[in-house]
Amino acid sequence: MSIDMSQFHQVFFEESFEGLDIMETGLMDLDLGAADTEEINTIFRAAHSIKGGAGTFGFTDVASFTHVMETLLDEMRDGTREVTRKAVDLLLVSVDCLREMLSAVDAEEEIDQDRTKKLQNDLETILAEGSEASENTAVVVESGTENVVSGGVWSISFRPHSHLFKTGNDPVRMFRELELLGELTSKVETSKIPPFSEFDPEESYLSWEISLKSDCSEAEIQEIFEWVDEDCDLKIIQAAADKNEEPPQSLVVEASKAEVVTKAVVEKVPAIKKKTAKNTGNESSSIRVGTDKIDALINMVGELVITQSMLSQMSENFKIEDIERLKDGIDQLERNTREMQENVMQIRMLPISFSFNRFPRLVRDLASTLGKNIELKMSGEQTELDKTVMEKIGDPLVHLVRNSLDHGIEMPDVRKAAGKPEIGILQLNAFHEGGNIVIEIIDDGAGLNKERILSKARENGLIGENEVLPDEKIHELIFAPGFSTAAVVSDVSGRGVGMDVVMRNIRDLGGVVEIKSEEGVGSTFTIRLPLTLAILDGQLIRVGEHVYIIPLISIIESLQIELENCNKVAGKAELYKLRDEYISVMRLHELFNVIPNSTQLDNGLLVVAESEGQKVGLFVDDLMAQQQVVIKSLETNYQKVDGISGATILGDGTVAMILDLPGLAALSRKKQKTKPRILEEAVA
């Protein structure tokens, strides 16, 4: 019976981390004093499955630690213990500790034993305190059932059926759990072991007589055998503490032989551990998908197959009269493909609550560290976005939230003096807008201090001494590298690395951050992100014989150029007067060194697009179709190219480049420095 348990490890860890999240959320929601039993139950169940899983996979440290937590939760569930702030805090810290333990086990690192031991002691202390306090309730229970008896010896007869191993159970684990309850002595009965020639290694031939010295309840023992209830004969009898049951003589004789068998089973555990070391190298992330999404996909595939068979039937004896039906069929195929694409993309979509869930805890902890009163309001947690985007937006979000807490919301006394309610409000909103997801982080704190930002920026040489900037620009300064206005550098934020990283991360995802802030009233950070990184709506454009793609989302308008609106600055930079503003013109053929149909501005078109909050005009020969394109990386086999964000494959199988507007703007600046006068000649 050698199942490679390591293949299930990844699932266990994923489930456990999910379980921990559930516990954390649950604990945060608990009303002190009057906790909802259902909620405690949810937390308890999560802890219980982690313990069970850890026991199964032989992570004994994790199992025994969780066991203590579980006992505490169990008492809360039964109502024998009050839900106190102290207990909840301790449980929260334990959840953290457990998470670290699991990560350590996952990464095959040493568990921080000191910390674990200390916490476990704390938990046990609280448990001990509690049992004294709730003694009176215990008495009531005792009289009602025979479950709670202390200081007894249990004799357990455990006779597994021969197919026990096939159900995936292993007695060793149960023994390990029993051991946690108290002093354990067991005798093994080996008489059923057949001669070697008939020995089936996948059958179970052993049975045990166990005596357990423990003051646990029968229910606790039952629980250990819960999984094998159907697959064994189990008798649990309470023996008097002083009566030492003599095992049958025959058993003692064969005990040595049995030891060998049991040992063999036990030795298997380290072997499994060694195997995992190799397996974790190629771990892959997985994603949980609702069955409704899968069902929808299967329906779609069904339709696709029908359409395909219809088309192939038609092609067998195709007559020219059928052309209409063929067109219909192809339309249908197109529809099917598009729907399927949307559905497959749906699978990668997760509600943003996965990312938001950590904030109640974070805010609570930070607020108490900082001594502030903060209420967190969240909305739109069910807004969905791509898994990759979600993973990458997590850290920047944390940073922004910490920032709002630390620098934004003031101390209670300051708030009171300013005539604001003492409790500061931090809002996290998420919603869809067009093809984007928008995340807002709103605080009702002090707002950005323009004076301080300016003086700091001058100090760091980010802006000139007498430079005057509009509010928007001043606010954007906080995203400059090495910028921090925090008077005191705290461990929360204020080291000045951060906001620029936030900005960069968001930009890498193709998103933008906007700041609105009013002194004394509060700040709003708005993050706009594309829903997915894999597909974008593109506008195909042509320059000479080359086709490029501009992300449709950044295009504002396209227009024919009227020469009288063209202006030049110092003979170099071209500007175009668009209604009442001037935008800079970038000639794509010059940036990319390709031959266009015409260099005359009035022969081509100007695509006005937004890049980093500014409008730019791209001079191209022609606009072509709009279509969805699948983004492929150029860096996989080549390298990053200036002005290009990736490539895609068009319907005819050729490759087209996707333009990166901020990159193009940078390229244009670089070119203008190196090539001074060529533009002029081109226009003339």
Partner 1 sequence: MEIDNQLDTLSMMNSDLGENAEQFLSFFLAGEEYGVDILRVQEIKCWDSATEIPNSPDYLKGVINLRGIIVPVVDLRLRFGLKEIDYTETTVVIVLRVENADKERTIGFIVDAVSDVYSIESDLLQAPPEMGDAIDLDFVRGLTAINDNMVVLLDIDHLVDTEESVGNQSLH
The least CB distance from residue 605 to partner 1, in Å, is 19
Task: Say whether residue 656 binds partner 1 (CB under 8 A).
Answer: yes
Complete DSSP assignment for 342-361: HHHHHHTEEETHHHHTHHHH
Cα–Cα distance measured from residue 629 to residue 658, given in angstroms and rounded to the nearest whole number? 9
Compute CA distances 469 → 158, 408, 475, 477, 521, whole Å: 81, 22, 10, 10, 21
* Nearest residue to 533 (alpha-carbon basis) of 655, 656, 388, 342: 388
Task: Say whether residue 636 binds partner 1 (CB under 8 A).
Answer: yes
The least CB distance from residue 552 to partner 1, in Å, is 20
Task: Say whether residue 541 binds partner 1 (CB under 8 A).
Answer: no
The least CB distance from residue 649 to partner 1, in Å, is 5
Question: Among 200, 633, 669, 676, which residue sits at the site for partner 1 (rule: CB under 8 A)?
Answer: 633
B/e letters for 513-529, b = 16+ CB within 10 Å, e = fewer, are: bebbbeeeebbbbebbb
Do strands 349-351 and 374-379 pair parallel, antiparallel, or not at all (unpaired)?
unpaired
Task: Say whether residue 647 binds partner 1 (CB under 8 A).
Answer: yes
Q: Can 339 be counted among the known catalytic residues?
A: no
Site string for partner 1, 599-628 (x = CB under 8 A): ------------------------------
Cα–Cα distance measured from residue 83 to residue 379, given in angstroms and rounded to the nearest whole number? 28
The least CB distance from residue 639 to partner 1, in Å, is 7
Q: Can 299 be counted among the known catalytic residues?
A: no
Cα–Cα distance measured from residue 74 to residue 67, given in angstroms and rounded to the nearest whole number? 10
The least CB distance from residue 638 to partner 1, in Å, is 4
The least CB distance from residue 635 to partner 1, in Å, is 10
* Nearest residue to 180 (alpha-carbon basis) of 67, 102, 97, 73: 67
Across 161-298, the runs of DSSP E, i.e. the strands, are 183-189, 207-214, 232-239
Q: Can 246 be counted among the known catalytic residues?
A: no
Catalytic-labelled residue, pool 403, 407, 436, 589: 403
Task: Say whether residue 596 binds partner 1 (CB under 8 A).
Answer: no
Nearer to partner 1, 143 or 654 (CB): 654
Task: Say whether residue 538 binds partner 1 (CB under 8 A).
Answer: no
Task: Say whether residue 644 binds partner 1 (CB under 8 A).
Answer: yes
Nearer to partner 1, 252 or 655 (CB): 655
Task: Say whether residue 657 binds partner 1 (CB under 8 A).
Answer: yes
Task: Say whether residue 674 binds partner 1 (CB under 8 A).
Answer: no
Q: How many residues bind partner 1 (CB under 8 A)?
A: 24
Cα–Cα distance measured from residue 529 to residue 508, given in angstroms and rounded to the nearest whole number? 10
**Which residues sit opposite 597 in a β-bridge?**
none
According to DSSP, residue 119 is labeled: H
Contact 657, 549 (CB under 8 A): yes
Task: Say whether residue 654 binds partner 1 (CB under 8 A).
Answer: yes
Contact 192, 232 (CB under 8 A): no
Question: Among 160, 592, 617, 661, which residue sits at the site for partner 1 (rule: CB under 8 A)?
Answer: 592
Catalytic-labelled residue, pool 9, 24, 48, 590: 48
Cα–Cα distance measured from residue 579 to residue 70, given in angstroms and rounded to the nearest whole number? 69
Catalytic-labelled residue, pool 70, 189, 218, 220: 70
Cα–Cα distance measured from residue 292 to residue 497, given in angstroms and rounded to the nearest whole number? 43
Task: Say whether residue 540 binds partner 1 (CB under 8 A).
Answer: no
The least CB distance from residue 683 to partner 1, in Å, is 22
Residues 6+ apart with CB under 8 A from 255: 187, 188
Do strands 581-587 and 573-578 pair parallel, antiparallel, or not at all (unpaired)?
antiparallel
Question: Among 509, 591, 609, 665, which residue sits at the site for partner 1 (rule: CB under 8 A)?
Answer: 591
> Of 36-44, 48-56, 162-170, 631-639, which segment contacts partner 1 by CB under 8 A?
631-639
Question: Among 29, 146, 642, 680, which residue sits at the site for partner 1 (rule: CB under 8 A)?
Answer: 642
Nearer to partner 1, 359 or 592 (CB): 592
**Which residues sit opposite 573 in a β-bridge?**
569
In this structure, what are the phi and psi dihedrals at residue 218, rounded to the nearest 5 degrees?
-60, -35
* Nearest residue to 487 (alpha-carbon basis) of 426, 425, 410: 410
Task: Say whether residue 331 binds partner 1 (CB under 8 A).
Answer: no
Residues 6+ apart with CB under 8 A from 388: 348, 533
The least CB distance from residue 27 to partner 1, in Å, is 43
The least CB distance from residue 657 to partner 1, in Å, is 7
Question: Among 128, 417, 649, 678, which residue sits at the site for partner 1 (rule: CB under 8 A)?
Answer: 649
Residues 6+ apart with CB under 8 A from 115: 97, 100
Question: Among 34, 320, 639, 677, which residue sits at the site for partner 1 (rule: CB under 8 A)?
Answer: 639
Residues 426-455 that bind partner 1 (CB under 8 A): none
Question: Among 501, 634, 666, 683, which residue sits at the site for partner 1 (rule: CB under 8 A)?
Answer: 634
Cα–Cα distance measured from residue 629 to residue 649, given in angstroms and rounded to the nearest whole number? 7
Helix ranges (DSSP H) in 285-322 = 291-316
Nearer to partner 1, 196 or 638 (CB): 638
Catalytic residues: 48, 70, 403
Binding site for partner 1 (CB under 8 A): 546, 591-594, 632-634, 636-639, 641-644, 647, 649, 653-657, 667
